[in-house]
Structure 1
Amino acid sequence: MKKMRTVDAVGQVLCHDITQIIRGVSKGPVFRKGHIIQPEDIPVLLSVGKEQIYIWENNEHMLHENDAAIILRDICQGRHIAAGEPKEGKIELTADCDGLFLVDTQGLYRVNALGQMMIATRHGGFAVRKGDRLAGTRIIPLVIEKEKMEAAKQAAGSQPLMQVVPFRNIRYGVVTTGSEVFHGRIKDTFTDVIVSKMAEFGAVMAAHDILDDDPAAITRAINGMLEQHLDMVLCTGGMSVDPDDQTPLAIKNTGARIVSYGAPVLPGAMFLLSYMTDGRPVVGLPGCVMYARRTIFDLVLPSLIAGVPITADRLASLGEGGYCLNCPVCTFPNCGFGK
């Protein structure tokens, strides 16, 4: 790449796109990379502020921005992610199915820390829909050292930095507990909330039991649903620390591995997550899920539907951003909750 005066550049090959911006009207290239400059092009180049331009010179140690952008794309692009064509060193990535968007946060940091290139993504761990924009990449200079791009590959590691895990077709059961509901003293309004949230992901409730605060009966109900080959069991009621709250004990007695009883999220501190030995989740939902618009359940549900295991470390990391502000107009997930 060599810089030269525009008026002297007739016959030379452009090594980058030349963009024209007309406020409120358009933004786009007037000339593309590889264009051979003609005499009539000089006034156009001057009109977009190009007194000097870069023309192409071969250099075996350097890569053009678009060629380097393709390498950066390959570093990022995992399963179920589509990519656009490189333009001015930029490539945009989109989801090619509904699913859970995952990002290798540490790998992303290592690549961005190299400088001269950038990857900007939406927040991982949240649901995306087919066609959603996921990330944009850009090579900062017009040309970049091949060695720098090799360093980016090493920094990213052996696996792509991003992927979308498709949502599964889920059949689930709900175990509603509490003497007040069991004896008909109050109406069960919790289950409708669960059905509504699960329906957003195409999940279907295939079993529902309403039980007294009897841990043995609750355990039997959970195991019965699992024996029906349901993919997940959700338990409501009895998740606090009152003497009558027996649901955590009942879940433990199924033999499930308790990942966490409690989460650093408000609303949702009394959340319980466990997995059976075959990986199926058994979840205890705190009462706030029934009345608060967004809770811990909304943060973990995409992972549960996608079948991506949730670790104790993942739950612990939700503390920063885990405080819902209960805004008058809820814009979740386009807000800071869970981020």
Structure 2
Amino acid sequence: MKFGPVPLQEAEGAILAHSTVVGDRRLRKARVLSAEDIAAMQAAGLKEVTVAVLAADDVEENAAAERLASGLSFAGIEAKPAATGRVNLHATVSGVFTVDKQLIDSINLVDPGITIATMPPFAPMVEGQMVATIKIIPFAISESVLTRALELGWNREAFRMHPYRPFRVGVVQTMLPSIKNSVLDKTLRVTEERLGRTGSSISGEIRTPHAASDVARAIEQLSDDSDMVLVFGASAMSDPDEDVIPAAIRAAGGIVHRSGMPVDPGNLFVLGERDGKSVLGAPGCARSPKLNGFDWVLDRLMTGIPVTNEDIAGMGVGGLLMEIPTRPQPRELASGKGEAKQVALKVPVVLLAAGRSSRMGGPNKLLALFGGKPLARQSAERALASKANGVIVVTGHQAERVKNALAGLNAVFVENPHFGEGLSTSLKAGVSALADDASGVLVMLGDMPGVSPADLDRLIDAFRSSGGRSVVRASHDGRRGNPVILPRSLFAAVSHLEGDTGARHLVEAEGLDIIDVEIGAGAFVDVDTREALVDAGGVLQD
């Protein structure tokens, strides 16, 4: 492949290296230049253009990506059609993702032009979520390079989705005078919810004194009608061999594979087995729905993936998870300087203003007047009046009109040329424009006239108080709404979104701590239709 500037008269049939505006037309990167394109460039006064010219043995980027996807073996996953040299692979079932790291590393070493990126091994994924992406860079790859990559993948499974299996789970809870019944009741509800996402259910519950003999009898009784038994101790494990839960598993005729795990939160976990069925001693943090080491083991077992002592020992790298609410303050803020650090957390706003207002039947709702101001301007002014660290406005449909409506405001504009492909493209464009020191991003829809600067401040305050680790959502009467703040830990996952979807499924799949902040009915007031806009006090403009 040859790359560089060439005279226009030699560019027909070549691949455009950079997006170019010619008059009122935008020619996108990777476009194969036609005679009409060349004529338009000449009319615009251009003399040369930077292009890529493929050699006889080059395989065009889309064809190469599709051949590589077809040459890899995987299960529970489907490959989407190639575009811009990329094939995305999505889960067709909910479950746990596994990957042959050695194989993927080997393919990525063949040539920098071939790249495969995947989710981490053993990541829990939901149906439809992207698990891997194949990207050819740039424009083409030689046949010999592609052949070497395909040969590596021959007769080897690259990745797999292991679907969840419905388990019947028995629950044992021990009791001490210090633990309230309300805590036990909440633990049962949280456990039902935790099991429900895998299609599993609770087969029975027994509450016993905090003594090994009582717990052993409960394990034996529940095992008859269960595929697994979970034990919640009223007191944290102090001795990995003789404390109540490991001792009870042995007294019930079982074996203990591991007491303790290098994952925080989740250290005080017990992995046992009786009659071929798992018996798990849950750590105290498993009483909360927040992600902890217990989830890592449970997810694997619920798909039939075995978990050994060695597997748990290997969970330490990457095992430092988020803080849990029961800790009085995050570890890094315990120095006494927590308040200053929280205030320093930077939270810019990404204002999404690229949509086509398709349900309006023509007029752009963001230009509708509210109190004499275009809705887009009202939204931007409210964002600028909040505690946010700057505002990025993503434009697309009628970009110039929207920018003119915001003239004079201290906002940064980012144009999304792919706005027609859905909300995800605008979200990605906004997040990609954030500064490196952003701790999170407040994603604000441009069509929510009921959201005030004070509402945004409440969200930002909650995010900063959480140490910048939590997802913060606007809510009303217990129902989630908008806007939402995403922590920096989700930025990479945002880049994999596709279509007309926001970050909702990412929030649910990643298991992050979620803080819902009541802001009133404004959390739900958007103006997608003419009727809704008029009801909210807006006046459409042509």
Q: Who is 2:92 aligned against?
A: 96
Contact 1:239 1:246 in 2 (8 A): no
> Which of the numbers 186, 190, 195 marks the counterpart of 2:187?
190
Which 5+ residue runs of structure 2 have no aligned equivalent? 324-329, 331-465, 472-506, 514-542
Q: Who is 1:79 aligned against?
A: 75
**Residues 160 and 75 from structure 1, CA distance in 2 versus in 1: closer, same or farther, beyond 3 angstroms?**
farther
**Residues 8 and 217 from structure 1, CA distance in 2 versus in 1: closer, same or farther, beyond 3 angstroms?**
same
Asked whether 1:144 is paired with 2:141, we answer yes
> Which of the numbers 249, 263, 266 marks the counterpart of 1:268?
266
| Aligned residue type for 1:318 | M
**Residues 307 and 51 from structure 1, CA distance in 2 versus in 1: closer, same or farther, beyond 3 angstroms?**
same
Q: How many residues align?
A: 324
**Residues 281 and 52 from structure 1, CA distance in 2 versus in 1: closer, same or farther, beyond 3 angstroms?**
same
Contact 1:266 1:322 in 2 (8 A): yes
Q: Who is 1:281 aligned against?
A: 278
Q: Who is 2:107 aligned against?
A: 111
| Aligned residue type for 2:149 | A
| Aligned residue type for 1:293 | K
Deviations 1:154-177 (A, max 9, x none): 444633322211112222110112
- Normalised TM-score (structure 2): 0.52
| Aligned residue type for 2:92 | D
Shift of 1:6: 5.2
Asked whether 1:8 is paired with 2:15, we answer no
Q: Who is 1:65 aligned against?
A: 61
| Aligned residue type for 2:51 | I
**Residues 257 and 42 from structure 1, CA distance in 2 versus in 1: closer, same or farther, beyond 3 angstroms?**
farther
**Which is helix-richer, 1 or 2?**
2
Shift of 1:143: 3.1
**Residues 163 and 50 from structure 1, CA distance in 2 versus in 1: closer, same or farther, beyond 3 angstroms?**
farther
Paired residue secondary structure (1:318):
coil
User: Structure 2: how far apart are the matches of 1:259 and 1:144?
Assistant: 49
Paired residue secondary structure (2:157):
coil
Q: Percent identity?
A: 24
User: Structure 1: how far apart are the matches of 2:243 and 2:94?
Assistant: 37
Paired residue secondary structure (2:189):
helix
Shift of 1:281: 1.8
Paired residue secondary structure (2:162):
strand
Which deviates further from its counterpart, 199-208 or 210-219? 210-219
Deviations 1:236-276 (A, max 9, x none): 10551269832111213444443321100122111011344
User: Structure 1: how far apart are the matches of 2:51 and 2:285?
Assistant: 61
> Which of the numbers 233, 242, 250 marks the counterpart of 2:248?
250
Q: Who is 2:470 aligned against?
A: 330
Paired residue secondary structure (2:74):
coil
Q: RMSD of the TM alignment (CA)?
A: 3.6
Q: Who is 2:209 aligned against?
A: 212
Contact 1:177 1:247 in 2 (8 A): no
**Residues 107 and 180 from structure 1, CA distance in 2 versus in 1: closer, same or farther, beyond 3 angstroms?**
farther
User: Structure 2: how far apart are the matches of 1:65 and 1:107?
Assistant: 21
User: Structure 1: how far apart are the matches of 2:305 and 2:26?
Assistant: 41
Deviations 1:7-57 (A, max 9, x none): 2247x545x5777478xxx99858755x7x32x220456779971434455
Shift of 1:147: 3.0
Contact 2:113 2:137 in 1 (8 A): yes
